[in-house]
Amino acid sequence: MDLLAPLLIVASIALAVLMMKVTDLLRAVICLCGICILVEGLFSLLHVASIMIFQILVYAGATVTLSLSAIMFTRRRDG
């Protein structure tokens, strides 16, 4: 249990750096979803159920779904 929190923190920082470095917008949104799930894991370790449920429903659910919808319904310029 003591090793899990630093592992989640390092993984979320790595995903944040990857999200900034990736050039494909879809992959950046997938990294954002991964970050949201890892932060939810941190809240679960802190035993804060209300914030954990809010995090997984609103951030990992609604925000990522809205971002993916915006990407899919936007025309792409080639050239």
Q: Is residue 35 part of a domain?
A: yes
Residue 12 sits in which domain range? 4-72
Given this model, what pLDDT does residue 59 score? Answer: 83
Q: Is residue 19 part of a domain?
A: yes
Write out pLDDT tens, residues 2-42.
799 999 999 999 999 999 999 988 899 999 999 999 999 99
Question: Which pair of tokens denotes residue 24?
Answer: 């494909």
Q: Is residue 49 part of a domain?
A: yes
Q: Is residue 79 part of a domain?
A: no
Q: What is the pTM of this model?
A: 0.82
Write out pLDDT tens, residues 41-57.
999 999 998 988 888 88
Q: Report the phi/psi class of residue 77: left, alpha or beta, with left for phi > 0 and alpha for psi in -120 to 50.
A: beta
Question: Does pLDDT of 1 surpass 70?
Answer: no
Q: Is residue 47 part of a domain?
A: yes
**Number of domains composing the chain:** 1
Q: Is residue 78 part of a domain?
A: no
Question: Which pair of tokens denotes residue 36?
Answer: 């949201």
Q: From the CA atom positions of the chain, what is the Rg in Å?
A: 15
Q: Is residue 14 part of a domain?
A: yes
Q: Is residue 55 part of a domain?
A: yes
Question: Which pair of tokens denotes residue 33?
Answer: 């979803």
DSSP codes joined into one string, 34-73: HHHHHHHHHHHHTT-HHHHHHIIIIIIIIIHHHHHHHHHT
Given this model, what pLDDT does residue 25 score? Answer: 87
